[in-house]
Every structure is written in C-alpha cells, then in structure tokens.
Amino acid sequence: MDSLQSLFRRLEQLNDIGASLSVERNIALLLEKILLAAKGITQADGGTLYLLSDDKQRLRFEIVRTDSLHIAFGGSSGQPISGSFPDLPLYQPDGLPNNNMIAAYAAISGNTVNIADAYQAAGFDFSGTRHFDEHTGYRSQSFLTVPMKNHEGEIIGVLQLINAIDPSTGRVTVFSPADQRLAESLASQAAIALTNRQLIEQLEALFESLITVINLAIDEKSPHTAGHCQRVPELTMMLADAVDAIDDGPLADFRLTDKDRYELRIAALMHDCGKVTTPVHVVDKATKLQTLFDRIHLLDTRFEVVRRDAEVRKWQEIANGQSAADAEQRYVDFCGQLDVDREFLRKANVGGERMRDEDIERIALMSTRYRWRNPAGEEVPFLSDDEVLNLSIRAGTLTGAEREIINHHIVATIRMLEQLPWPKHLKNVPEYAGGHHERMDGKGYPKGLKREEMSWQARMMGIADIFEALTAKDRPYKDAMKLSQALSIMENFKNGGHIDPDLYDVFVKQQVYRRYGKAFLSEGQVDC
C-alpha cells in the first residue's frame, strides 16, 4: 500500500511538472527544471542534461547537478557551463558511432540505458567517471540514461541520472523499472516542451529579424535619420527599466513582466514602420530648396545671370554717353546688394534659425526686385512661387504639405500594425507604437488623444522619440544638441502639456538621459 501511494504521489508530481514546463519561457531555466524534476521523481543524487548540437554530431552539456558534492553548473546556478565540460562526440574520427560513451549511445540508438553499477558494467567506457571519482572521492554507481525525443520522434538531447538514493536507508541503490518509466515519461514531456519553446524562440527571432529589415530599409532611405529606429527602442527600454525600479510616487505600483517588456520592445522597434511609405525626397530634405537636389545652386546661377545683365547694362549706359564713373558705381552698388541677398538666401535655405516676419517679407520682395530671362527667353521673377514658399518656412526645412506627408507615417504605422494578427501577448503593440506623437493636452496626432486615454507605455515612447530627435548628431540642419539644452527643451514640453510629467520626472531623477548619452552621444554632448 505504501509503495502504491508513493507511485501515485510521483505520478501527481509528474503531472505538475508537465504543467510547469509548459509555461516556462526561459530555455536555461526550462532545462534546469527538467533535470531537477527528473532527480526529484527518481530520487537521484546527481544528473546531467545534454542537448544535441545543431549539426547533430555532438552532445553539449547544459545542466549539471550533484547534491552530495554541492556541484551545480548552468541554469540559475550562476556557474557557466560553457568551457567547463567538453562536448561529447557522437561519432569517432573514422565515422563509426561512439557507442562506448553511454550518453552518446542513448542519443544514437534512442534507447534507455539502466545500469546498476558503472564499475561492473560491460560495453561502455566509464574511465572518465572513474577519474572523476578518484579526484572527488565520489562513488558513481547506478546510472539511468534516457534519450529525449520530441513529438516527431527526433532525438534532441539526453537526460542522465546518477545514484538513486533509497529514502529509507539513504544508501545508493539501482533505478527501479518504475523510476525508468517515470523518467522516460518526463523526458518525453520535457522534449516536447523544449521543442515548443525553441520553436517559439525561432519564430520570435524571425519576426524580430523582419522588423530589423524594415527598420534598416527606413534608415537606409536617409543618412540623416539613420539609426533612429535602433536608438528609440534602446531609450524606451532604459526608461521602462527606470520606471519599473521606482517604489514611490505615482508610478510606485507600475511593474513590467517579461511579457510586458517584450511587447513594449516590439512596439518600440516598429514605431516608425509607416515611414516605408514616406517619399525619399521628403525624408531626406536637408534644406528648404531640396527636392532631388538642392535648388540653391539654381539660384546661384540666376544671381550670376543677373550680375552679367547688370554688367551689360553698365556698358550700355556708358555707350549711350552716361558718366563712366557713375555707371561703374551703380554697378558696384548693385553687385554689393546682390551678394548680400545671395548670402541671405543661402543662410535661409539651411533652416537652422527661425525666420522672422521681416525675413519672410524680404524674400517676397526679393522675388520681384530681380528679374531674369529664363531659357525660353521670358523675363520672369527671380524666385518662383514654390521657391518663395519653401524659403519662407519659419522653422526647419519642411513646408506644411511636406510636414503632413511626414506626419502621415504614424497613420500608416497604425494601419499597418492593425492589419497584423497579433497574438494575445502582443495585442497592445499598435496602441503603444501608434501613440508616440500624441500629446498629454490632446493636441498631438493622429488621434488627438489626451493623457488619460493613453497607456504608460505609449507615453514612454513619446518621450524617447522626442529626446532621440533632439540629441541626434546626424541631422544636417542642426548642430548636435548637448544634454543640458535637450533637457531644458524637454522641461518646457513637460510644463506645456506635451509629454507626461510623471514619466519625465523619472527620466531625470533616475538619470536615464545620462546613461543614454554615454551609450549613444558624442563626448562633447554629455555636459550634465
């Protein structure tokens, strides 16, 4: 009766183990759980878990445990197993199976090996085991070596247990037939759980690689915004870590699970995927007159044409009997003003300073002050309507229409992400990624959401997106901004209802900006 009750308890333990394995996401911890569970239900003192190498030629040590010797490698032990134990070859140099090694034999044959005493067993090489025993004073006796087969019958690893302990006497005994059946059942469940976890990780890796390809395509569209799609996720996660560590204030109860972190990271990686729809000439517009090329050079040519016409006019005046000195002075004065106006337009084209009302008026007057003959022989204003419009941009290099094109990328992002069949643990990605241009006061875009209508994660991404843009050192229309200047602007955004004040306080208090600066900014930018 006691034996039957013990078996039932072990079966219940096996069921509990199977449920536990199915929910573990970390492969290293999953492998550890498998070995510890096998040791527990067979009452083994030690054990090793091997995984088959990708080329299926070797067994790699993954987890090693021996309780009586206090040996623990791999998993949560803190002792890395890499480099501590050499791989076991499945085949000899001549290509024959390495059946002398018990673990290799189990992997090759797919058969379980149950040995009562390694020192008395025939057919296997236990010289390494004897050497270990001599070195440690241990006595390796009973071995239970079980191949791990997945649901397709493929061998993916080997579970090896050492020295079954009799609970009533504490002495080493053999692994019973019940032990073997339980271990084989566990190995089968474990192999399926491990295969599923590996498959999920492979799919996640493929998914993230596709995201990386999209971001690479976006960054390759313009050398002036390259790296933005990589830096924003890094800064977002830095802020998320800082918020997660806070234990007081409005965010004291905010905590992120591993699933939450993964969901936020995917959203941050995809926050600008809609930029694949943005025309290159708008994304890459480094100056006000740039289209496929910078049209300021056309204005340079026109200035030279106007200068030539002025010189012709001077000689015509002299030929008509006017004073040569007066004609020359008028020519010099005209060319002097021409040079001043030319330099003004070149400076305005860069878009580095905000245009004043008088600057915009000056551009409009300049359009009619100078006339020139186009290739068709027509006398036309010096500046076209489109050139006047672009040169009159008050700040930056984009017209209102072009800014709408740029802003449309977030609409495209939302549409693209909402079309994807997101699994349950990633269902919030569209909301997080689509909200990084919203404002706390409801004046953002595209939905005009207010603070209370947005998640903390979306608000985090808004701060990361703005701070990255302010401090980026690869923009042609502005100098690399120092941290102190960026923080001053961010403070104004906080007070003006642009960004979340509580999150920004954490950003400053936890010095997230400094960690980001040391990782991504030039040394001259990190001034605080």
Lowest mean pLDDT among 52-56, 176-180, 399-403, 480-484: 399-403
Q: What is the pLDDT of residue 13?
A: 64
The residue with tokens 């976006």 is: 218
Q: What is the C-alpha separation between 329 and 335, in angstroms, rounded?
A: 10
What is the set of domains in the chain, with CATH numbers? 2-200 (3.30.450.40), 221-277+425-525 (1.10.3210.10), 296-397 (no CATH)
Q: Per-residue pLDDT for 141 more than 80?
A: yes
Please give the share of the chain, as a percent, with pLDDT higher than 90. 61
pLDDT band per the 50, 70, 90 thresholds, residue 3: low
Q: Per-residue pLDDT for 96 more than 50?
A: yes
Q: What is the pLDDT of residue 72?
A: 94
Count other Cβ atoms within 10 Å, centred on residue 53.
14
- Contact indicator for 369, 399 with CB cutoff of 8 Å: no
Backbone angles phi and psi of 190, in degrees to 5? -65, -40
Q: What is the C-alpha separation between 459 and 237, in angstroms, rounded?
A: 12
The mean per-residue pLDDT over the stretch 199-216 comes to: 87
pTM of the full structure: 0.68
The residue with tokens 């990328």 is: 409
Q: What is the pLDDT of residue 1?
A: 43
Lowest mean pLDDT among 230-244, 471-485, 514-528: 471-485
Work out whether strand 113-115 and strand 88-89 pair parallel, antiparallel, or are unpaired.
unpaired
The mean per-residue pLDDT over the stretch 509-527 comes to: 93
Cis amide bond preceding 446, omega within 30:
yes
pLDDT band per the 50, 70, 90 thresholds, residue 69: very high
Q: What is the pLDDT of residue 403?
A: 84
The mean per-residue pLDDT over the stretch 515-519 comes to: 94
Q: pLDDT tens-digit profile of 242-299? A: 999 999 989 999 999 989 999 999 999 999 988 888 887 777 777 888 887 888 999 9
Q: What is the C-alpha separation between 320 and 311, in angstroms, rounded?
A: 14
Q: pLDDT tens-digit profile of 413-465? A: 999 999 999 999 899 999 999 999 999 999 998 999 999 999 999 999 999 99
Residue 476 tokens read as 């042609």
Q: Is 449 helix (H, G, I), strand (E, B) or coil?
A: coil
